[in-house]
Amino acid sequence: MLTSITYLTYIGISVLITVLVSRTLSKNGLTFLIAGFRGDDALAQSTNHLLVVGFYLVNLGFVLLRMRTGVEIADINALIVYQASGIGLVLLILGIMHFFNMLVIHQIARNGTLVLQAPAKPAEDKPDSSGSEKPAADPRPDRGVWID
């Protein structure tokens, strides 16, 4: 009986934590998505919803897979160890998912507001024989300049 209570408690706490974290990330991340999509509110909200669905699927799938039905919880010490290790692992996965989502949001924002242009010409360039200056070649063509 103690094993069943432990499993149900683990699932309940894990689902609660997942829902609370997801709501917080969704609410606060929407602003970044709107900025990243240059004010396209509908696209930002749609992307935000898809990130939330993916977040739920990965985290809840992990929570359910982590349960080991072969573990017998015989006393309160075993219950505490099982709960602590299980919830600790869920929190770790939630943190990893959070950083992954922030990376995605950062990439969206970067790609949405990044304009590629030639870098400023260094002052030490000298004019060529025709009297006009050549623009400096960008050694890093994949780099851009942030604009407001």
Quote the CA–CA distance of 117 and 143 in Å, as a whole number: 8
Output the pLDDT for position 5. 82
Which tokens hold the place of 75? 């006393």
Predicted confidence at residue 148, as pLDDT, reads 42
Cα 142 from Cα 100, distance rounded (Å):
23
Encoding tokens for residue 104? 């995605």
The proportion of the chain whose per-residue pLDDT surpasses 70, expressed as a percent, equals 71
Mean pLDDT of the chain: 75
Res 16: pLDDT: 92
| Backbone angle region of 18, left / alpha / beta, with phi > 0 → left and psi within -120 to 50 → alpha | alpha
> Which has more pLDDT, 121 or 5?
5
Q: Across residues 134-141, what is the average pLDDT? A: 51
Helix (H, G, I), strand (E, B) or coil at 125: coil
pLDDT tens by residue, 100-113: 877 877 776 676 65
